[in-house]
């Protein structure tokens, strides 16, 4: 199963790019992650796979706050169902509207805090990597 992150805006900072690159490389054998930077939210909406083709997860501060174990369970369930790709959508400063949230299989909050989209990308890639390690049976450091 492939995980694809569709995000508005580029990272533009070497430190953030290095973190995303590191977690993406670590994740390759677990759950491959593709990060696609797009110029505007309309293009993110356009490029996201239709919900009939696979799960779409919208990141939104109004979404469900979950644990890493819950994220791993979502991914594990989708993988068991034969899902080929999961799209994670990160919006711009204005976020997503109600139609976007309704079209998603899941609406997830990384935090109740409003995060810059660049930081949200780093946090999401790290959490996807961590969920992959849980699914692979690696010991999770908090359990």
84: exposed, middle or buried (C-beta count within 10 Å: 0-12, 13-18, 19+)?
A: exposed
67 annotated to bind ligand: no
Q: Any binding-site annotation on 135?
A: no
Cα separation, 60 vs 113, whole angstroms:
10
Cβ–Cβ under 8 Å, residues 61 and 96: no
Q: Is 110 annotated as a binding residue?
A: yes
Q: Read off the DSSP letter of residue 100.
A: H
**Any known ligand binding at 30?**
no
Closest CA to 55 of 17, 84, 90: 84
**Cα gap 29→113, rounded to integer Å:** 32
Ligand-binding site membership of 113 (annotated): yes
- Residue 11 assigned to a binding site: no
**Spatial distance between the Cα atoms of 119 and 47, rounded to a whole number of angstroms:** 22
Would the annotation count 15 as a binding residue?
no
89 is in an annotated binding site: no
Residue 91 has a CB neighbour count (10 Å cut-off) of 22
Annotated binding site: 59, 91, 110-115
Annotated binding site for S-adenosyl-L-methionine: 59, 91, 110-115
């Amino acid at each position: 199963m492939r995980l694809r992150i569709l995000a508005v805006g580029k990272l533009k900072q070497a430190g953030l790019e290095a973190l995303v690159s590191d977690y993406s490389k670590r994740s390759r054998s677990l759950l491959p992650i593709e990060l696609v930077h797009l110029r505007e939210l309309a293009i993110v909406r356009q490029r996201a796979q239709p919900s009939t083709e696979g799960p779409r997860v919208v990141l939104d501060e109004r979404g469900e706050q979950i644990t890493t174990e819950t994220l791993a369970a979502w991914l594990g369930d989708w993988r068991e169902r034969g899902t080929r790709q999961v799209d994670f959508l990160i919006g711009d400063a204005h976020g997503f509207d109600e139609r976007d949230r309704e079209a998603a299989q899941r609406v997830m909050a990384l935090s109740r805090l409003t995060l810059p989209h660049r930081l949200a990308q780093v946090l999401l890639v790290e959490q996807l990597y961590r969920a992959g390690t849980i699914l692979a049976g690696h010991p999770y450091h908090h359990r």
